[in-house]
Structure 1
Amino acid sequence: MNAAIKHLLHNPAASGIFIFLAAVAAMGVENSAWSGMYNDFLNIPVAVQFAELKIAKPLLLWINDGLMAVFFLLVGLELKREFLEGELSQPANVVLPIAGAIGGIAMPAAIYAGINHADAAALQGWAIPTATDIAFALGILALLGSRVPPALKLFLLTLAIIDDLVAIIIIALFYTSDLSVGSLQVAAVGIGVLVAMNRLGVKGVSGYGLVGVVLWVAVLKSGVHATLAGVVLAFAIPMHGDEGEPSPLKQLEHDLHHVVGLGILPLFAFANAGVSLQGMSVTDLLSPVPFGIAMGLFLGKQIGVFGFVWLTVRTGLAKLPEEMRWPQLYGLSLLCGVGFTMSLFISSLAFEHGGAAGAPDIGPARLGILGGSILSGLLGFILLRLTLPKHR
């Protein structure tokens, strides 16, 4: 039994499975007699105070602003490792994924904006369908086992990493509220301390963590979304340890991998995927916001990723890897439409805290995310199952 549990937890698909089950549980509870308990749980007041400094938020926002900062810390660690010694350090390896990522961001945003162009408040959600859920997409790909060629996995991983980087930039530029100059100054001092620690050769991760907590509080109070503090902290963690010692960055990335994939992301999904279906009709689901999100994820992602990669190959800027075939790339483009976690996160920024006045109800938006992600994931899996060789 223990061996089976360990095998499940180390399976690349485990995180996606846990996230999916958490989302299903949230939908079930929200539409049951326990919905009141579910909402009371998310609204539990949690406060932390030190002298005059006080942070008081409901549990939901501690999950979205606090625990998700740890997720972005992991994303930042992966980005830094890839840029220094991974696939992103070789320019020739990233031409096709960059092209796919650009198309996979531009087309979904264009489709959503086209459907919602008449509603200024709804346009706040233009970035919701631009995200790809790396855990979910890689989890679905992992279900196909050894039939998947390494080139296909590498393409999806690289594209998703670039997609995450762009998502970070979008959040920083477009989803910030009124800025506090004093808090930004404190944050700037924190960043300076982190840079100095890195330059002075400080290897202990705990020291960086303490400064990172101060930075998170300052960013939280500044009006910039607090999760970005995790990315800044990640870029300061040293890549190389002392002689004979492991890499601080790689060790921290390893330590956080299961905590985030099997703990934080499923909890985030449970807290944010609960949508009440009571009183909701088909007309509501086909309204501009959920329809724009679903079509952005399903149509925009596949058209953007596949179309931009095809144009890049046809113009001679890059070559399709030998192990990859066009039908397989199309199936992978469909998988990129699984937005889920990041789309839910951006929807909360766009339509809940920080959204425009008169912003649409987030419930139908979440249904659009679920619908577009499920449709993309299911059809992508079927197409890849049909087109990949049966044995490798």
Structure 2
Amino acid sequence: MATLFGRGTWPEVRRIGAILRQETIGGALLLAGAVIALVWANSPWSSAYESLRELRVGPAAWHLDLPLAGWAADGLLAIFFFVAGLELKREFVAGDLRDPRRAVVPVAAAVGGVVVPALLYTAVNFGTGGGARGWAIPTATDIAFALAVLAVIGRHLPTSLRTFLLTLAVVDDLLAIVIIAVFYTSSLSVLPLLGALLPLAAFAVLVQRRIRSWWLLLPLAAATWVLVHESGVHATVAGVLLALTVPVVRSEHAGGPGAGPGLAEHFEHRFRPLSAGFAVPVFALLSAGVTIGGVGGLMTALTDRVAVGIVAGLILGKVVGITLATWLVARFTRADLDEGLAWTDVFGLALLGGIGFTVSLLIGELAFGVGTERDDRVKVAVLTGSLVAALLATVVLRLRNRTYRRIEEAESVDADDNGIPDVYETAEDDRR
């Protein structure tokens, strides 16, 4: 435990942690978990998969005798949202979201990427009764998956594109948490929710004093999680609340500017390997398994209106919402698109926004229940929509990657009469 909160570590743990912090590794583990789940659920050993998902562990007296699938959704994803919350706060305090003029474009893109898919899904499922309850499923963007795809296909793409995607996805996650807390809380117990404020406040006091002792912080974090879970609010909200209490700026008494990273960056550095290397892949393993039933079963699932709404929301809704919101803000406000980006880049990024794996699966379970027929169709639709979005984004951004690679190569050759390399001039024309 000392390696999570404290300074001490071991060389091997350090090496593994560094590997797991790489976006490509986290995305690969997430994909591996999903593939294993799908293969297992459609194999002769599918009953063993279901038995594993339904295995109950935990103290019944605290209402925590949950199936393993429930522990993955409520417990492990709380770690994922804790890391996302730390990232969000760092963006607001010390990152791009600190400057309103720089923040407004990706924030507006995130809002557009939530509203338009929700509206499109609702239009497709209008009049279907319970089907409309899944309106929020296509609104989420999977940070780990999207950044992993971008890292693999875009080595020459500008860093501003990654920053734009990261900011968009983090704000997207914040909106998803608000949606889960407000719209997918079926029953609310006020006393446990008020009780959660006590350990949360104690945790906040300790971290504000830059205390990292795991034996103090972990019990308070666990108590906050248990009480939020008991209140009826989805327990992942506890992860975000805890993260937002962690200070980003270095302590003034820590020795000046060279004193090292702030506590939020320290915790993010410690917990990201746990989130990317264990929490999210295990959630994928226990959530993505669905019996497809061959080509006929796949077609039946994808022609269901719930599935059609999800796929349309992820592929079409995300592209329209993100691109349109970005254009409107750039057109009618003083905010500008980063000078290093072209509108084709934004289009490719909007396609990446349609990778809605982790949180989309979670919202699907909350909307329709775990293991129901509609939940199975949600999984098929989310997997299909995310895969198609990733493939389309790969095509567009690979083309852009070649353009930026030519720009880099052109910078090393002689300029033309204007002093500007021909390829660079072409790329500038493309941006305009």
Task: Compute the TM-score of the two structures, normalised by the length of structure 2.
Answer: 0.84
1:273-302 deviation line (CA, Å, top 9, x unaligned):
101012725233111001100000000000
- Tell me, yes or no, if structure 1 residue 374 matches structure 2 residue 387: yes
One of 200, 203, 214 as aligned partner of 2:211: 203
Partner of 1:37 in structure 2?
Answer: 48
Query: Number of paired residues?
Result: 383
The residue number in structure 2 matching 1:262 is: 277
- Structure 2 counterpart of 1:19: 30
Query: Does residue 311 of structure 2 align to residue 303 of structure 1?
Result: no
**Per-residue deviation, residues 181-204 of structure 1 (Å, max 9, x unmatched):** 3212311323333344456x2522
Specify the SS of the correspondent of 1:55.
Answer: coil
**1:63 CA displacement:** 1.1
2:106 maps to which residue? Answer: 97
- Measured after TM superposition, the shift of residue 316 of structure 1 is 4.1
Kindly tell me: are residues 231 and 9 of structure 1, through their superposed partners in 2, closer, same or farther at Cα, counting changes over 3 Å? closer
Which one-letter code corresponds to 1:299 in the other structure? Answer: L
Aligned counterpart, 2:398: 385
TM-score w.r.t. the length of structure 1 is 0.92
Note if 1:231 corresponds to 2:240. yes
| 1:174 counterpart residue number | 183
What 5-or-longer segments of structure 2 have no aligned partner?
Answer: 1-11, 409-432
Alpha-carbon distance in structure 1 between the residues aligned to 2:56 and 2:349: 42
Partner amino acid for 1:162?
V
Q: Secondary structure at the match of 2:166?
A: helix
Alignment RMSD (CA, Å): 2.2
- Give the SS at the match of 2:58: strand
- What is the alpha-carbon distance in structure 1 between the residues aligned to residue 163 and residue 85 of structure 2? 18
List alignment gaps of at least 5 residues for structure 1.
none
Task: Note closer, same or farther for the CA distance 1:15–1:386 as it changes in structure 2 (3 Å cut).
Answer: same
CA–CA separation in structure 2 for the residues paired with 1:26 and 1:63: 14
Deviation (angstroms), 1:67: 1.1
Letter in 2 for 1:374: L
1:352 aligns with 2:369: yes
| 1:29 Cα deviation from its structure 2 partner | 0.6
Bigger radius of gyration among the two: 2
Shift of 1:9: 4.2
1:348-388 deviation digits (Å, cap 9, x = unpaired): 111116x9xxx862011111101111111100111111123
Q: Quick one: structure 1 residues 10 and 222, their matched pair in 2 at CA, closer, same or farther if it must change by over 3 Å?
A: closer
Structure 1 residue aligned with 2:80: 71
Q: 1:274: which partner in 2?
A: 289
Residue 6 (structure 1) shift? 8.7
Structure 1 residues 205 and 292, CA gap change in structure 2 (3 angstroms): farther
Instruction: Please list the CA deviations of residues 21-47 of structure 1 after superposition, one character each: whole Å capped at 9, or x if unmatched.
Output: 211111111000110111111111102
Pair 1:113-2:110 in alignment: no
Distance 2:86 2:18 in 1: 25
Within the candidate set 263, 275, 291, 1:248 is matched to: 263
Cα distance in 2, alignment partners of residues 125 and 360 from structure 1: 13
Query: 1:40-63, CA deviations, whole angstroms, 9 ceiling, x for partnerless residues?
Result: 1111110236xx545211111111
C-alpha distance in 2 between matches for 1:94 and 1:11: 25
CA distance in structure 2 between the partners assigned to 1:221 and 1:252 by the alignment: 26
Distance 1:110 1:360, change over 3 A: farther
Change (3 A) 1:281 1:264: closer
How far the C-alpha of 1:10 sits from its partner, in A, is 5.0
Report the AA paired with residue 385 of structure 2.
Answer: G
Task: Tell me, yes or no, if structure 1 residue 320 matches structure 2 residue 328.
Answer: no
Q: Per-residue CA shift, 1:278-335, capped at 9, x if unaligned?
A: 2725233111001100000000000110111112222243222221111121111111
Question: Within 1, Cα distance between the matches of 2:120 and 2:154?
Answer: 33
- Name the CA shift for 1:248/1:205 in 2 (closer, same or farther; >3 Å): farther
Aligned equivalents of 2:21, 2:233: Cα separation in 1? 35
Pair 69,10 (structure 1): closer, same or farther in 2 beyond 3 Å: closer
Supply the distance in 2 between the matched residues of 1:147 and 1:54 (Cα, whole angstroms).
51
Q: Which residue does 1:85 correspond to in 2?
A: 94
1:139 corresponds to which letter in structure 2? A
The equivalent residue for 1:46 is 57
User: Structure 2: how far apart are the matches of 1:160 and 1:60?
Assistant: 25
What is the CA deviation profile of residues 76-117 of structure 1, one whole-angstrom value per residue up to 9, with x for unaligned ones?
Answer: 111111111111111111111012111101110001000111
Moved more, 259-268 or 231-240: 231-240
SS, match of residue 57 in structure 2: strand
Pair 1:71–1:165, CA change in 2 (3 A): same
Is the 1:208–1:237 Cα contact (8 Å) retained in structure 2? no
Tell me the residue number matched to 1:289. Answer: 306
CA distance in 2, matches of 1:83, 1:171: 22
Matched letter for residue 25 of structure 2 = A
One-letter identity of the residue aligned with 1:193: A
